[in-house]
């Protein structure tokens, strides 16, 4: 099946909210990592989301080029070509994009989708994130309203963030402070500004989330913040206003906190750090085990099969796919695909 269209993507998100599970959204940087996600999702019987960050997109275009839109388009076109070989649906998304990179990253991709639609082709991406969390909320939402208007014309879903995810992602660092917790007042303002058009959007509300590498239990989440925000919006605007929430910075989170977040409306959880490690760990294991094969030690010739990149990248793909399967299971998504064959 091709990449999910707008109707299927909306159905995916609504079904996740109704049934209290979430779709894992995996950051990828290459064809190999994208293939790993597809493999893991298919083996789990789960739909999912493949996403590209600004840094990941620049890397995908090549270290001599570093063209963010080009790299993102290259990965997206690959996924469009191969997704039909897997018995699941996958959506394509771009991750954190701050205001100063909108014109150089997201907007060229939106323009590419508009060109495709004019030619009778499906959307390149399904959704894009604008990360205005570093801005005052009014300025954040002023930009979001304009984006939502353009996105809705071409069946693109907008993701925004209210509150700040701590830690560092693609070189953007946020310090720990009270903004790590979105308030009911924040979400009421989001609903007031964005709900009137009827256009679809996702909200990354923060409840202590931190990007980066942490041991289990190190990140102190307060999932009840999500319940308080949802409750305030439902009381003010009714059940239809309940948000489709996104969970950023989930590495090191306790499983009970993850499940509480799902119960409070999280339908998408971003995963990057853990799959990066799974991918690299397999390569490191191969290199240590086959040290004299991958290096020409003491003037020897080495072992071509050991240093052939296909050997260790295939291992890395399989290892990352296994971590994808674990993520699906933890998010209650196993065997939930909408794909009927």
- By annotation, the residues acting in catalysis are 95
DSSP-derived 3-state class of residue 162 = strand
Count Cβ atoms below 10 Å from residue 241 Cβ, excluding itself. 18
Name 56's Cβ contacts closer than 8 Å, sequence gap at least 6: 27, 28, 29, 71, 95, 170
* Tokens 């150089």, residue located: 104
Which tokens is 262 given?
């799902």
Whole-number Cα distances in Å, 26 to 44, 61, 91: 15, 18, 11
Contact 12, 89 (CB under 8 A): yes
Phi then psi for residue 326, to 5 deg, are -65, -40
Could you tell me the CA-to-CA distances from 164 to 59, 160, 178, 190, 247 in Å, in that order? 25, 11, 9, 15, 12
Question: Which residue do the tokens 């996104």 mark?
Answer: 246
- Please count the residues of the chain: 341
The encoded tokens of residue 168 equal 């560092």
- Residue 219 DSSP class: S
Q: What is the DSSP string of 84-101?
A: GGSSS-EEEEE----GGG
Q: In the structure encoding, which two tokens stand for residue 204, read together?
A: 């990354």
């Amino acid at each position: 099946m091709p990449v999910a269209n707008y109707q299927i993507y909306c159905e995916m998100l609504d079904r996740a909210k109704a049934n209290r599970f979430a779709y894992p959204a995996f950051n990828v940087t290459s064809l190999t990592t994208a293939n790993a996600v597809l493999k893991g999702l298919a083996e789990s019987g789960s739909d999912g989301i493949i996403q590209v960050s600004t840094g990941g997109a620049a890397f995908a275009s090549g270290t001599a080029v570093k063209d963010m839109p080009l790299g993102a388009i290259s990965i997206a076109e690959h996924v469009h070509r191969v997704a039909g070989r897997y018995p699941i649906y996958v959506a394509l998304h771009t991750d954190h994009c701050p205001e100063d990179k909108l014109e150089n990253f997201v907007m060229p991709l939106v323009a590419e989708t508009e060109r495709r639609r004019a030619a009778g082709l499906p959307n390149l991406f399904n959704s894009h994130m604008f990360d205005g969390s570093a801005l005052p909320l009014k300025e954040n939402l002023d930009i979001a309203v304009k984006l939502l208007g353009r996105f809705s014309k071409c069946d693109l879903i907008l993701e925004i963030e209210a509150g700040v995810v701590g830690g560092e992602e693609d070189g953007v660092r946020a310090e720990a402070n009270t903004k790590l917790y979105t308030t009911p007042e924040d979400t009421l303002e989001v609903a007031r500004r964005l709900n009137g058009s009827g256009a679809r959007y996702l909200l990354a509300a923060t409840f202590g989330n931190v990007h980066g590498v942490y041991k289990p239990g190190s990140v102190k989440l307060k999932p009840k913040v999500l319940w308080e925000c949802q409750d305030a919006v439902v009381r003010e605007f009714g059940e239809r206003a309940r948000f489709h929430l996104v969970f950023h910075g989930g590495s090191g989170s306790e499983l009970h906190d993850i499940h509480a977040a799902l119960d409070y409306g999280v339908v998408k959880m971003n995963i990057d750090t853990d799959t990066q490690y799974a991918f690299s760990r397999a390569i490191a294991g191969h290199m240590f085990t086959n040290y004299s094969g991958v290096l020409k030690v003491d003037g020897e010739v080495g072992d071509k099969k050991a240093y052939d990149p296909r050997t260790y990248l295939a291992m890395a793909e399989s290892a990352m796919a296994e971590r994808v399967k674990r993520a699906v299971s933890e998010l209650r998504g196993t065997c939930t695909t909408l794909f009927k064959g």
